[in-house]
């Protein structure tokens, strides 16, 4: 049975039960009460058994008629109210069912009206939130396919051009040309590795192994690896991590990966002669790590989206620099796996930016990170 007949049947059972109780109560109690009053009347009217019988018979007919009329009227009214209430309950459910079928068919813009503030209204609100989330995921999926195709097309087009030039004899197989081709191959390898890492992180296949870790050692190790890249551009790299900073409960390799992504991003977008600072300090039961640069900055309207996949503030410039727009997404996922938070801030274009994340303080003795 569908929901509407079930509701109506339930209401009818309730109405019928109420009618039986009312009629049974009237038929059982009314004669007793009338008998008491009849005894009082008999003392005033005299001992005439036929008068008493006539009065009692008339009373029973009046009671039966009144009960039948009252029960019939109440059943009709209750049935009308039951139909109205049942439809008010069933119609939103049917609307959500029809909308769910359209969403399953790919029409993610479907929404249902919120007609009340009760549980059905709350269900409609949650249904609309679910539809919005599905629509956003579908949009992200399409954007992901388009972005991956674009990222693959750029190095492949370069390789194709070099190969055609070599085959046509326009280019010679010089070390310079082969080096350019190798750089394009490396771009493809980095993109594939980043995509594989991102898919593993988002699928929950990456596990962190938190241990008490000395954050200063992790920071200095990452800075030492990237310092040549900064010196090549004339960028000053500075570390401000106090020696008495408490150990953090974190996976040192994953924290190093987060720092490498943030520092590499800062070096990439900081012009020659700039500065990149890595600072850390304690706030309550957390350690806060900030990577601050004097680079190109981020417009305020872009800040909420910088951790999205393939998102770029300056798309053309970023593509030339070789970034795929995945590193920050991976960094966010790794920080969240540690139970921390990560965010970005910038005063505006040309005024640098700061990427900050948190890690929990370790309670036990610290190990050595690296």
Three-state SS across the chain?
A: CCHHHHHHHHHHHHHHHHHHHHHHHHHHHHHHHHHHHHHHHHHHHCCCHHHHHHHHHHHHHHHHHHHHHHHHHHHHHHHHHHHHHHHHHHHHHHHHHHHHHHHHCCCCCCCCCCCCCCHHHHHHHHHHHHHHHHHHHHHHHHHHHHHHHHHHHHHHHHHHHHHHHHHHCCCCCCHHHHHHHHHHHHHHHHHHHHHHHHHHHHCCCCCCCCEEECHHHHHHHHHHHHHHHHHHHCCEEEEECCCCCCCEEECHHHHHHHHHHHHHHHHHCCCCCCEEEEEEEEECCEEEEEEEECCCCCCHHHHHHCCCCCCCCCHHHHHHHCCCCCHHHHHHHHHHHCCCCEEEECCCCCCCEEEEEEEEECCCCCECCC
State the pLDDT at residue 197. 79
CA distance 362 to 359: 9
pTM, whole model, 2 decimals?
A: 0.58
Length of the chain as a residue count: 370
Report whether 262 contacts 331 (CB < 8 A).
Answer: yes
CATH architecture of the region 211-360: 2-Layer Sandwich (3.30)
CA 122 from chain centre, in angstroms, equals 17
N-term to C-term CA, the chain: 65
State the pLDDT at residue 247. 94
Q: Which residues of 121-154 are buried (b: 16+ CB within 10 A; e: fewer)?
A: eebbeebbeebeeebeeeeeeeeeeebbeebeeb
State the pLDDT at residue 358. 96
CA dihedral 164, 170, 174, 176 (to 10 degrees): -80
**CATH class in words for 120-202:** mainly alpha
Report whether 161 contacts 170 (CB < 8 A).
Answer: no
Copy the structure tokens of residue 304. 């909420």
- pLDDT 10s per residue in the chain (370 long)? 565 676 667 777 777 777 777 777 766 666 666 666 656 655 655 556 666 666 667 667 777 777 777 777 777 777 777 777 777 777 788 888 888 888 888 888 888 888 777 777 788 888 888 888 888 878 877 877 777 787 778 788 888 888 888 888 888 888 888 888 888 888 788 778 877 877 787 777 788 889 999 999 999 999 999 999 899 989 999 999 998 999 999 999 999 999 999 998 899 889 999 999 999 999 999 999 999 999 998 988 888 888 877 666 655 444 444 455 678 888 998 999 999 999 999 998 888 999 999 999 987 544 444 3
State the pLDDT at residue 330. 87
State the pLDDT at residue 328. 87
State the pLDDT at residue 370. 38
CA distance 197 to 183: 21
CA distance 263 to 248: 20
State the pLDDT at residue 189. 82
């Amino acid at each position: 049975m569908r929901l509407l007949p079930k509701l109506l049947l339930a209401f009818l059972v309730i109405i019928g039960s109420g009618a039986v109780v009312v009629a049974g109560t009237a038929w059982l109690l009314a004669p007793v009460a009338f008998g008491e009053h009849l005894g009082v009347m008999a003392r005033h009217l005299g001992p005439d058994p036929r008068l008493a019988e006539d009065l009692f018979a008339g009373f029973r007919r009046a009671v039966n008629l009144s009960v039948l009329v009252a029960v019939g009227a109440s059943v009709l009214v209750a049935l009308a109210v039951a139909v109205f209430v049942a439809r008010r309950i069933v119609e939103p459910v049917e609307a959500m069912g029809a909308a769910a079928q359209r969403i399953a068919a790919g029409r993610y813009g479907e929404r249902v009206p919120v007609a009340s503030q009760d549980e059905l209204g709350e269900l409609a609100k949650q249904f609309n939130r679910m539809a919005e989330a599905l629509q956003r995921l579908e949009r992200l999926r399409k954007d992901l396919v388009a972005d991956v195709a674009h990222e693959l097309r750029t190095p492949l087009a370069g390789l194709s051009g070099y190969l055609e030039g070599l085959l046509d004899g326009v280019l010679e197989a010089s070390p310079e040309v082969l080096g350019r081709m190798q750089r394009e191959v490396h771009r493809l390898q980095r993109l594939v590795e980043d995509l594989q890492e991102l898919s593993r992180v988002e699928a929950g296949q990456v596990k962190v192994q938190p241990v008490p870790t000395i954050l200063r050692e992790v920071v200095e190790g990452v800075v030492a690896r990237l310092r040549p890249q900064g010196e090549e551009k004339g960028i000053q790299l500075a570390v401000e991590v106090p020696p008495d900073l408490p150990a953090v409960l974190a996976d040192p390799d994953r924290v190093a990966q987060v720092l490498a992504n943030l520092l590499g991003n800062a070096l990439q977008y900081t012009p020659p002669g700039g500065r990149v600072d890595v600072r850390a300090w304690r706030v309550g039961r957390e350690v806060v790590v900030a990577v601050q640069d004097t680079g190109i900055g981020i417009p305020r309207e872009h800040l909420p989206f910088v951790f999205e996949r393939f998102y770029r503030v300056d798309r053309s410039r970023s593509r030339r620099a070789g970034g795929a727009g995945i590193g920050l997404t991976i960094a966010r996922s790794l920080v969240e796996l540690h139970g921390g938070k990560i965010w970005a801030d910038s005063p505006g274009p040309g005024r640098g930016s700061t990427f900050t994340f948190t890690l929990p303080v370790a309670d036990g003795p610290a190990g050595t990170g690296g």
